[in-house]
Structure 1
Amino acid sequence: MKVEFSLYRGKILLQTEIEECNDYSIPFNMRLQNCLEEFCRKCDADLPIWMSNNTKELAAFHLTTFSEEHFLRKPFFDRLVLKFLGD
């Protein structure tokens, strides 16, 4: 699985990275969680709170966005965009 993460402040792109998790012995949602955790660890950000809206967006568009309200502490960016690139 490949997932692209992009951090934005306003319309300015701060950072983009691609994370991979190729352990197909674990379920899709766990692989996605591992990618998200690894990206957040690298950029020193808290994990966002995953809401049902994120699941619906990811299923429909292969993309979901996390804004300030998804984080317990205010992040250094305005939004985090997660884009599923495929297996």
Structure 2
Amino acid sequence: MNWFVRTMKRTFNVAVNIDEVGYEAYEFYHEELDNYLVPEEHLKKLPNPLLFETLAYVDGNGNEWIAGFVRDEETGEKLYEVWIKNGEPIAYEIYV
């Protein structure tokens, strides 16, 4: 959560109250994920199934921010990251 708060401030200039950040995690098989979350060319490099974790926050203007990421379950290393604002992906990074 601290990573989310720091990244929101540094990258998007949005101050986040850590107590207002929500967290969820879901296991997905590749065929269950939409390409807007994980483009097909990235999905091929990720485990199947994968644990997709999200951190979510709604700012004072009503904008919904979501950071989604996939980690290696054994090492904890981040494999993929996507940022979504109001339902639209605005940035992503693949680390494998």
TM-score over 0.5 for the alignment?
Answer: no
Higher strand share: 2
Q: TM-score, normalising length from structure 2? A: 0.29
Task: Point out which structure has higher relative CO (alpha carbons under 8 A, 6+ apart).
Answer: 1
Q: Kindly indicate which of the two structures has a greater share of residues assigned to helix.
A: 1
Q: Could you state the TM-score of these two structures normalised by the residue count of structure 1? A: 0.31
